[in-house]
């Protein structure tokens, strides 16, 4: 590959491309490294126990700092913002951040949440400018769901949060289910039955080797083709074209017209070639890949009095040098690398 390249995009301004000519379109912002769940595949209690040292407040970006960065990222071509975590709704007054960033451009602002606090938060978030929402739900069966969230949290409360989001107009709602062999593959069909015909889009996620604390093994992954075959047997499916470049989910529709599902198969069908995402951790580090081992410290730039132009130049330099394509290179060896935890960098 040649040197960093640039082109004129759909915007009137200059678009920065990375080494593989991928533009920067999406920014995922982790607003906290804390979560009220202890999902066994993400923040297992053995690692994230009572003594775990979460970030002290002074190290976490303020809403003003986040909003300033968003303004600069929008100048660089970012069109979509996803707030995540940790659990984003454990950060107090999150709707204030949404209200601060929604006037900064024609932005698609969305949020990924475990849904536990959503029933009370959906309306204030929508009023502040949130457009859509993704809710994680790994099973409707309480025994299975509680085994996975490991804090005894019932599925019905998450369904209440989904209903409140629908009432608040946060549509279309996406529901994400991580499938892990031996834990919840039995929940694939009940989840499909429950959500087909509701207008919500159920998306199955292959269990990934993010971070280093979940003890990932390839055997734990239920591959996309198996998920599709399981559903197709009861509800015939047909593949759909991606809605836009960089869409992570492979889409299928129910042939009887009851809606669509998505599969996020980062393990068996990597989508690095179209990846237009950057990730900002709660302490202000920029990561150019979910599987990155190191980030770029934007908090240091913000807090050392750099101007917007200087920060923009630094971001352009990081993005033009970006050559990550971890999922395409994944192997038994890379799975063992010391990577950043998903709860830290955001899903
Ligand atoms: N707390 C929020 C939530 O539950 O959606 C946002 C953060 S969470 C890290 C984002 C998403 O990542 C969730 O859907 C979660 O299930 C998923 N996730 C976490 N660890 C994963 C793994 N090892 N493989 C695949 N997905 C994972």
User: Per-residue pLDDT tens for 91-112?
Assistant: 999 999 999 999 999 999 999 9
Q: Ligand 1 centroid vs 10 CA: distance in angstroms?
A: 32
Measured from the CB, is residue 114 less than 6 Å from ligand 1? yes
Ligand 1 centre and the CA of 139: distance in Å?
14
Structure tokens at 24: 């920067």
pLDDT in tens, 217-260: 888 899 999 999 999 999 999 999 887 766 788 999 999 999 99
Question: Is the pLDDT confidence value at 202 over 80?
Answer: yes
Percent of the chain with pLDDT over 90: 76
pLDDT band at 335 (very low <50, low <70, confident <90, very high): low
- At 306, is the secondary structure helix, strand, or coil? coil
Query: 84 in ligand 1 pocket by Cβ < 6 Å?
Result: yes
Q: Above 60 in pLDDT, residue 12? A: no
Report CA(264)–ligand 1 centroid distance (Å): 12
Greater confidence, 9 or 133? 133
- CB of 221 within 6 A of ligand 1: the answer is no
Question: Please, what sign has the CA dihedral across residues 327, 328, 329, 333?
Answer: positive
Q: Distance of CA 99 to CAs 57, 64, 297, Å?
A: 21, 11, 25
Q: What are phi and psi of 201, to 5 degrees?
A: -105, 110
Predicted confidence (pLDDT) at residue 77 exceeds the cutoff of 50? yes
Summarize the chain as % helix, strand, coil (round to 5).
35, 20, 45
Look at residue 336 in the predicted model and tell me its pLDDT.
Answer: 66
Distance CA 66, CA 100 (A): 9
pLDDT for 13: 54
Q: Which atom of ligand 1 is nearest to the CA of 84?
A: 6
CB atoms within 10 A of CB 320: 16
* pLDDT at residue 2 is higher than 50: no
Q: Which of 30, 36, 48, 178 to mutate to test the pocket of ligand 1 (most atoms within 8 A of CB)?
A: 178
**What does the pLDDT look like over 157-197, one tens digit per residue?**
999 999 999 999 999 999 999 999 999 999 999 999 999 99
Q: What mean pLDDT, rounded, does the chain reach? A: 91
């Amino acid at each position: 590959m040649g040197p960093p390249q640039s082109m004129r995009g759909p915007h009137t301004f200059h678009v920065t491309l990375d080494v593989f000519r991928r533009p920067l379109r999406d920014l995922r912002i982790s607003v906290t490294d804390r979560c009220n769940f202890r999902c066994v595949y993400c923040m297992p209690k053995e690692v994230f126990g009572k003594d775990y040292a979460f970030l002290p407040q002074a190290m976490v970006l303020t809403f003003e700092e986040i909003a300033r960065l968003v303004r600069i990222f929008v100048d660089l071509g970012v069109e979509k913002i996803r707030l995540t975590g940790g659990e984003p709704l454990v950060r107090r007054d999150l709707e204030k951040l949404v209200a601060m960033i929604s006037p900064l451009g024609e932005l698609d602002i969305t949020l990924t949440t475990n849904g536990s606090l959503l029933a009370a938060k959906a309306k204030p978030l929508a009023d502040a400018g949130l457009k859509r929402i993704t809710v994680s739900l790994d099973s409707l069966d309480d025994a299975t769901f509680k085994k996975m969230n490991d804090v005894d949290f019932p599925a019905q409360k998450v369904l209440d949060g989904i209903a409140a989001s629908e009432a608040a107009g946060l549509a279309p709602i996406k529901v994400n289910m991580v499938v892990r062999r031996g834990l919840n593959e039995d929940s694939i069909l009940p989840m499909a039955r429950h959500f087909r015909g509701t207008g919500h889009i159920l998306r199955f996620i292959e269990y990934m080797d993010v971070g280093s604390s979940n003890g990932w093994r390839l055997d734990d992954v239920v591959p996309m083709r198996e998920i599709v075959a399981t559903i197709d047997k009861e509800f015939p499916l047909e593949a759909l074209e991606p809605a836009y470049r960089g869409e992570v989910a492979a889409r299928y529709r129910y042939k009887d017209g009851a809606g669509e599902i998505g599969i996020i198969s980062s393990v068996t069908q990597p989508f690095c070639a179209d990846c237009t995402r950057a990730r900002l951790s709660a302490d202000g580090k920029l990561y150019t890949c979910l599987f990155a081992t190191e980030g770029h410290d934007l908090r240091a730039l913000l807090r050392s009095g750099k101007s917007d132009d200087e920060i923009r130049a630094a971001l352009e330099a990081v993005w033009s040098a970006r050559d990550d394509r971890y999922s395409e290179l994944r192997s038994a060896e890379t799975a063992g690398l010391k990577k950043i935890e998903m709860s830290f960098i955001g899903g």
